Amino acid sequence: MTNIDFTAEVEKRKDDLLADLFTLLKINSERNDDEANKENPFGFGPRKALDKFLELAERDGYVTKNVDNYAGHFEYGDGDEVLGIFGHLDVVPALAQEGWNTNPYEPVIKDGNVYARGASDDKGPTMACYYGLKILKELNVPLSKKIRFIVGTDEESGWGDMEYYFAHVGLPEPDFGFSPDAEFPIINGEKGNITEYLHFDGKNDGDVVLNSFKSGLRENMVPEVATAVISGKGLKLSPLTEALEDFVASYKSKALHFEVTENNHKFTIVLHGKGAHGAMPEKGVNAATYLALFLTQFNFTAGASAFLSIGGNVLLEDHEGEKLGIAYVDELMGNTSMNAGIWNFEEGKDATIALNFRFPQGNTVERMQEILGKLTGVTEVTVSEHLHTPHYVPGEDPLVQTLLSVYEKYTGKKGYETIIGGGTFGRLLKRGVAYGAMFEGETDTMHQANEFKPLDALFKSAAIYAEAIYELAK
């Protein structure tokens, strides 16, 4: 370990770090396919964030490369081996109606935390890691390996950024590396990731009609809000409101709340739950499943009946797929998890529920698809083209051991290997892991309203990254 006091070096630069971070946080870098074109493959926001990050790197003396606005990088140092660092600048959507107390793209500091979309995932950690390397550069610390710092713009969706980057960058992949996009002490194993879509017939002409049902922003987010429009015989606003009040009261621990309105004999019900990262669905309250359960008391028919029955009776709290029948546990990698992330039903059209699975080695996409196809009322099961297979770097690998030793030095806690359901850019390399920046005991607000990052954790992670990069590349 070096005798450089990286904590003190971060302290000298914390104002600059925050200023640069705020510059990135103010950019709404949600993917927007309506804006996508050749120059903006994922919309204007992700492109703008990439441009700004590379501008900061050029300011600090790096030679940058923008790979057709999909991703970019800069390199530092020389050597035959290349250490890759992977961050991402895109963010999941942030909607005011989902409970934000501040503008998600006007970062604010309150009670020692910086609040903004991307503060924790992944602009905050990416900037902390950037400053870790910046310290080494400004101190002119000798290194024996080349460092390639890579940032993407589509990590939260389909990883089309990295697919394009590696196909067009014209350079060999880094030999090993890490992504500052998860938690400490380390993530050296990641489950597979696939989305499978349940299809339903949208026709329904019973006493009560499901005109529409919408919920979810991304497949990897627990839906916080669900909206259904229903119409039919015998429906009246007052009894419907009373039924919703009774339903919400019966699930008091879930802190559900609702609004219901009537317009032209159609009733719109909006139910609110709690968002969470789709890799940890048990941490959220899936509003769509609870709204589906509530609606099963009415006499829907055909595809609407199947859609609501599966949604409310099978998918409700079925985080490991036991009721679905796809549950699978591996001794090393653990269980399969399921998040019902996006729901679309429009009367008379093909309806879908997107199920995002994080699965261990031994489970397969084909096995789950076959089982799901046997669900009553499901007309078809299709599979996303974006498949990530299970990934694992052994705990005895020097990469893992080095990163754990740095973590132990700065925290005084024993490091240990971890396998998660989340997917990070760490899995892009055979010898790739995720490393920070969330500490044990830190509140996880990724993919949620009022996302924040504690400032002390941000600065501590920057010091850890500085020493980790040094130890890996010295």
Query: pLDDT for 393-414, tens place per residue?
Result: 999 999 999 999 999 999 999 9
- Please indicate whether residue 155 is annotated as part of the active site: yes
pLDDT tier at 98 (50, 70, 90 boundaries)? confident
Q: How far is CA 120 from CA 160, 182, 299, 451, in A?
A: 22, 9, 44, 7
Distance, in Å, from the CA atom of 400 to the CA atom of 185, rounded to the nearest integer, reads 10
What is the chain's mean pLDDT, rounded?
A: 96
Residue-level pLDDT at 99:
85
**Is 70 exceeded by the pLDDT of residue 176?**
yes
Distances (CA, A) of 451 to 51, 151, 420: 24, 21, 20
Please determine, for residue 366, whether its predicted confidence score (pLDDT) is greater than 80: yes
Q: How confident is the model at residue 15 (pLDDT cuts 50, 70, 90)?
A: very high
Q: Is 90 a catalytic residue?
A: yes
- Sheet of 452-454: strand order equals 108-110, 113-115, 452-454
pLDDT of 386:
86
DSSP strand pairing (337-346 vs 351-359): antiparallel
Which of the residues 30, 122, 154, 155 is marked catalytic?
Answer: 155
Query: What value does the mean pLDDT take over residues 340-363?
Result: 96
| pLDDT score for 1 | 64
Q: Which residues lie closer than 8 Å to 156 by C-beta, 6 or more apart?
A: 31, 88, 90, 91, 92, 218, 220
- Name 193's bridge partners: 358, 388
Quick check: 303 pLDDT over 90? Answer: yes
pLDDT at 233 over 90: no
Please tell me the distance from the alpha carbon of residue 154 to that of residue 307, in angstroms, as a whole number: 30
Give residue 97's pLDDT.
64
Residue 223: how many other CB atoms lie within 10 Å: 30
* Predicted confidence (pLDDT) per residue in 118-163, tens digit: 999 999 999 999 999 999 999 999 999 999 999 999 999 889 999 9
Question: Do 155 and 161 contact (CB within 8 A), yes or no?
Answer: yes
Kindly report the number of other CB atoms within 10 A of residue 454's CB atom.
19
Active-site residue, from 20, 30, 90, 181: 90
Per-residue pLDDT at 330 exceeds 90: yes
**Can you list the domains of the chain with their CATH numbers?**
6-191+390-473 (3.40.630.10), 193-383 (3.30.70.360)
Q: What is the pLDDT of residues 411-469, one digit of tens each?
A: 999 999 999 887 899 999 999 999 999 999 999 999 899 999 999 999 999 999 999 99
Confidence at residue 71, expressed as pLDDT on a 0 to 100 scale: 98
